[in-house]
């Protein structure tokens, strides 16, 4: 994984985001006329990628877990500088939370794989426990006992041997459904305290006998708790953005109100309080008097899907970032607005792709197993389609929503109403009461997903990106087999797809205009230009900061790499491993 992100000084000057069964193939050949990606950086994003758990180490550094990019970053809490990174080479995958014991050993939870990993000073990484996916919060007691819980993909709470010599011991499975505890801490009484995300309360658990009590109520969506040096319990509420200190009488003392999307908090040994915000990709220090300080700038992160929206009074580049949807000024790159997601609270969901225009955006997420029709003017939900498998990309074509579904290996169509004025939720055709987005298990799959929608094309190549050109031709990239296909011409579906080329390397997002296709190749981190008529390929850009490794059997597209274009002939595309946006003249 990329650790440092340098802003290129040549080429276009990037403004600060905070500043004002296929037919025969056409003949194919490949040539290179490539530019280096660094010269095309338009916007430099955050040094963090959706920060989750954080902890202040014995040497006074902030260790910050990010499940999205499988890293634990080490930040200087005074300057915000990243001074180190632990990633996949160190055996770190999808870390959600972490904690240190008094010997300097630290452990983390891998939410997508279920692993609890630990590293002691001067020692190799060990797997302390291999649990099921969903293992989420983690904390040590003062005497070195280690506790973890599941949230969102499970509801069990365990004691784990940090050395991995003994099997994990189940403490309780009575905190669910859907979530046990989230960010948790051991209290002065030796009991385990943690928020119950879906119940708006704080639980107190006896770690020896599993007894559960309610310690505090009155929250909307409590995300994490920590005790300060005086033994006072602090709670962050993800939905309201509140940082709360609880008085002995149970009163809520709101220290600060930040934006929604708070994930975790940590104290250092001087009771300095730090809070992570996943949608904003930053860390905030909150003082006892309620004043706040940004440790690092709030900027975009993990750019995936991207669309150009031409409005009557204002045009926008719309970018997905899993935790947020951002609207940027195409001229300056300045952020026009941001829509933040709070899991199971917001209508936005874990957004990964976007297509559409000023009247409607089509959003999709294989993690949610859902497609959304979104109003970009009011930023409200028109229509939610749950239980549609694992949608990799989705758009509206000839009045209907068409999407690529990884779970069935097909391109499918949803019979859908036009954008509605009020939110509406609809399960896909023939689905058998699938769960709601965010409640779909460890990979976003839902019951009945294999019969979602109407299948229009069955693929053996790993369906990925979709695009429509000016003449209403519909195209598809196939990630696994490296193919680029024409599925429909002039609004009419072909009897069998036309293969334009099969010489791409992990193709994902595609933009087609004026007889040319521009395809992001995640397999070799490049942008390819394809002549639709001849199939000839030219490599336009190399060295893109994208192509995150897949985890387990999850879709290999992971954070989908999209591309779009504006009316001025500019192409826009992201680099999710480097948190950058690129711009290139066609």
Domain boundary among 257, 273, 294: 294
d(CA 39, CA 350): 31
Q: Domain for residue 551, yes or no?
A: no
Q: State the pLDDT at residue 23.
A: 36
Q: Of 471, 467, 568, 566, whose CA–CA distance to 519 is shortest?
A: 467
Q: Is position 413 within any domain?
A: yes
- Among 277, 294, 311, residue at a domain's last position: 294
Percent helix, strand, coil in the chain, to 5, is 0, 45, 50
Distance CA 100, CA 329 (A): 42
For 494, the token pair is 């072909």
Taking the C-alpha atoms of residue 18 and residue 219, their distance in angstroms, rounded to an integer, is 32
Task: Give me 562's structure tokens.
Answer: 């999209």
Note whether 290 and 422 are same-domain residues.
Answer: no
Q: Are residues 334 and 252 in the same domain?
A: no
Q: Which domain holds residue 395?
A: 300-497+559-585
The H or E element containing residue 66 is: strand 62-66
Instruction: Report the predicted TM-score, pTM, of the whole model to 2 decimal places.
Output: 0.89
> Is there a single domain that holds both residue 276 and residue 397?
no
Contact (CB, 8 A) for 285 and 62: no
3-state secondary structure of 327: strand
Please tell me the total count of domains within the chain. Answer: 2
What pLDDT score was predicted for residue 416? Answer: 60
Looking from the CA of 545 toward its CB, the CA atoms found within 13 Å total 30
Q: Is residue 391 part of a domain?
A: yes
Both structure tokens of 509? 């997002």
Residues 26/535, Cβ–Cβ less than 8 Å: yes
The verdict on residue 256 lying in a domain is yes
In sign, the C-alpha dihedral spanning 293, 296, 302, 303 is: positive
| 209 phi/psi in degrees, rounded to 5 | -115, -5
- For residue 552, is it within any domain? no
Q: How many CB atoms lie within 10 A of CB 201?
A: 15
The DSSP string of 506-552 is SEEEEEEETTEEEEEETTTTEEEEEETTT--EEEEEE--S--PPP-T
396 and 306, same domain (yes or no): yes
User: CA 315 to CA 323: how far, in whole Å?
Assistant: 22
Q: Do 133 and 245 fall into the same domain?
A: yes
Q: Are residues 213 and 243 in the same domain?
A: yes
How far apart are alpha carbons 411 and 153 in whole angstroms?
28
Task: Name the DSSP class of 347.
Answer: S
pLDDT (tens, 9 = 90+) of the chain, 586 residues, equals 222 222 222 223 333 333 323 333 443 455 666 889 999 999 999 999 999 999 999 999 999 999 999 999 999 999 999 999 999 999 999 999 999 999 999 999 999 999 999 999 999 999 999 999 999 999 999 999 999 999 998 999 999 999 999 999 999 999 988 999 999 999 999 999 999 999 999 999 999 999 999 999 999 999 999 999 999 999 999 999 999 999 987 889 999 999 999 999 999 999 999 999 999 999 999 999 999 999 999 999 999 999 999 988 899 999 999 999 999 999 999 999 999 999 989 999 999 999 999 999 999 999 999 999 999 999 999 999 999 999 999 999 999 999 999 999 999 999 766 544 445 555 544 333 333 333 333 333 333 334 468 999 999 999 999 999 999 999 999 999 999 999 999 999 999 999 999 999 999 999 999 999 999 999 999 999 999 999 999 999 999 999 988 888 889 999 999 999 999 999 999 999 999 999 999 9
Q: Is residue 519 part of a domain?
A: no
**Upstream peptide bond of 416 is cis (omega within 30 degrees of 0):** no
**Cα angle, residue 353 at apex, residues 348 and 356 outer, rounded to 5°:** 90
Contact status, residue 383 vs residue 370, Cβ threshold 8 Å: no
101 shares a domain with 171: yes
Look up the CATH number of the domain holding residue 281.
2.120.10.30
Q: In sequence order, which residues have a C-beta less than 8 Å from that of residue 468 and are 6 or more positions away? A: 395, 397, 474, 475, 512
Structure token pair of residue 21: 């069964």
Q: Which of 23, 21, 31 is nearest to 503 (CA)?
A: 31
579 vs 243: CA distance, rounded Å: 28
Pair (75, 201) in one structural domain:
yes
Q: Are residues 327 and 263 in the same domain?
A: no
Residue 217 counted as domain residue: yes
Same domain (yes/no): 162, 307: no
Sheet with 380-386, edge to edge strand ranges: 353-356, 361-365, 370-375, 380-386, 425-427
Domain assignment present for residue 504? The answer is no
131 and 181 inside one domain: yes
**Do the beta carbons of residue 76 and residue 268 sit within 8 Å?**
no
Query: By C-alpha distance, which of 294, 297, 296, 348 is closest to 326?
Result: 348
Q: Based on the domain organization, do 200 and 230 belong to the same domain?
A: yes
Residue after which a domain boundary falls, among 294, 327, 356: 294
- What span, in angstroms and rounded, lies between the C-alpha atoms of 489 and 471? 8
């Amino acid at each position: 994984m990329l650790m440092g992100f340098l802003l290129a000084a040549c080429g276009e000057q990037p403004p600060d985001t905070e500043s004002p069964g296929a037919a025969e193939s056409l003949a194919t050949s490949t040539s290179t006329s490539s530019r280096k990606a660094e010269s095309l950086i338009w916007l430099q994003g955050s040094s963090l990628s959706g920060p989750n758990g954080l902890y202040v180490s014995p040497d006074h550094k902030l260790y910050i877990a990010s499940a999205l990019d499988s890293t634990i970053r080490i930040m200087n809490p005074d300057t915000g500088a990243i001074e180190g990174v632990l990633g996949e080479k160190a055996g770190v995958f999808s870390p959600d939370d972490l904690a240190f014991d008094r010997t300097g050993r630290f452990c983390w939870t891998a939410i997508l794989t279920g692993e609890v990993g630990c590293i002691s000073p001067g020692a190799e990484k060990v797997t302390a426990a291999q649990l099921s996916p969903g293992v989420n919060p983690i904390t040590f007691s003062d005497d070195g006992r280690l506790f973890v819980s599941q949230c969102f993909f499970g509801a069990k709470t365990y004691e784990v041997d940090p050395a991995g010599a003994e099997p994990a011991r189940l403490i309780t499975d009575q905190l669910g459904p859907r979530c046990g505890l989230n960010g948790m801490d051991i209290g002065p009484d030796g009991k385990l305290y943690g928020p119950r995300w879906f119940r708006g309360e704080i639980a107190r658990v006896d770690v020896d006998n599993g007894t559960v009590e309610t310690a505090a109520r009155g929250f909307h969506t409590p995300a994490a708790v920590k005790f300060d040096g005086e033994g006072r319990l602090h709670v962050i509420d993800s939905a309201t953005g509140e940082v709360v200190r609880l008085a002995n009488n149970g009163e809520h003392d709101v220290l600060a109100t930040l934006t929604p999307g708070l994930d975790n908090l940590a104290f250092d040994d001087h009771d300095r309080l730090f809070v992570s915000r996943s949608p904003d990709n930053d860390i905030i220090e909150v003082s006892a008097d309620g004043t706040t300080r940004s440790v690092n700038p709030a900027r975009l992160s993990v750019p995936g899907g991207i669309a150009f929206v031409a409005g009557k009074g204002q045009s926008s580049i719309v970018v997905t970032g899993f935790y947020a949807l951002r609207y940027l000024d195409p001229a300056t790159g300045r952020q026009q607005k941001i829509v933040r997601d709070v899991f199971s609270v917001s209508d936005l969901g874990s957004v990964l792709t976007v297509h559409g225009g000023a009247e409607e955006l089509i959003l999709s997420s294989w993690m949610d197993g859902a497609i959304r029709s979104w109003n970009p003017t009011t930023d409200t939900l028109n229509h939610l389609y749950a239980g549609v498998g694992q949608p990799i990309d989705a758009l509206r074509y000839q009045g209907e929503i068409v999407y690529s579904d990884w779970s069935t290996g097909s391109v499918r169509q949803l019979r859908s109403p036009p954008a509605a004025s009020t939110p509406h939720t609809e399960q896909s055709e023939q689905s058998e009461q699938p769960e709601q987005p965010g409640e779909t298990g460890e990979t976003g799959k839902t019951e009945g997903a294999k019969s979602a929608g109407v299948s229009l094309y069955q693929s053996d190549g790993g369906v990925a990106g979709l695009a429509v050109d000016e003449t209403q031709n519909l195209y598809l990239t196939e990630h696994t087999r490296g193919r680029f296909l024409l599925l429909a011409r002039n609004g009419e579906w072909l009897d069998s797809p036309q293969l334009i080329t099969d010489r791409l390397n992990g193709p994902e997002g595609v933009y087609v205009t004026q007889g040319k296709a521009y395809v992001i190749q995640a397999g070799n981190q490049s942008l390819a230009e394809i002549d639709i008529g001849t199939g000839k390929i030219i490599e336009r850009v190399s060295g893109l900061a994208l192509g995150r490794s897949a985890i387990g059997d999850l879709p290999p597209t992971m954070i989908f790499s999209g591309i779009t274009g504006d009316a001025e002939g500019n192409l826009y595309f992201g680099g999710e491993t480097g948190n950058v946006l690129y711009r290139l003249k066609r």
